[in-house]
Amino acid sequence: MKCFAWSLAIFVLFLVCASLAVAETLVVPATNATGVLSSPLVAGQVYEFKSYGVYDYSYGRWAADPEWIFFYPNSPTEYWTYGIVGGPFGEANDILDLIINDASVSWLGSVDGVTWSPHTYSPSTHAYKYYYTGTGDRVKFHIADLTPFGGGAYGDNQGFLTVEINPVPEPSSILALAGGLGCLLPFIRRRK
């Protein structure tokens, strides 16, 4: 009975560790509008997209992360701005951002790594989150480096952004796991 209990405990621990692992990691190039596609995401399942990294644009003179851009390279402090509004070509608010399925999204940023909110710059990690409900289809990620003339300005970009896709466990799953672990406790005795 003791061997069975330990085997079951190890199996449950394996399941817990597997549920904490990153489901899929994508590398989104800054050099083209094609972007990348995820694996199909289960319809109705909520996913956390975590994007991070910094890429160069304008031949390395400026930089951008998934939500913000470094616009003035000669300023004494970094000046990150939420997209470019009313730039020389009348750019949209989300130019140079990481977009999902050809649509702009409000990535959640964090100053302290604990509290996440929209339109918040993540200064040290350049990490951002977005919650998405799967539709059974693949999800497209690409950087919106577009021009008002159509096409893109990807030829002066270097680098990439990374996206991690993780399913968010439902509360009922967590309760079931906790209940299962609780049922194991009577079988596991301390040695005297």
Helix (H, G, I), strand (E, B) or coil at 66: coil
Residue 125 CB neighbours (<10 A): 13
**Model pLDDT for residues 18-40, shown as the tens digit of each residue:** 454 568 999 999 998 889 999 99
Q: The pTM is what?
A: 0.74
Give percent of the chain with pLDDT exceeding 70.
Answer: 60
Sign of CA dihedral 99, 105, 106, 112: negative
Tokens at residue 65, please? 């992360």
Structure tokens at 144: 């919106």
Is 23-168 CATH 2.60.120?
A: yes
Q: Where are the domains of the chain?
A: 23-168
> Using one digit for the tens of pLDDT, what is the confidence trace for 48-71?
999 999 999 888 778 889 988 876
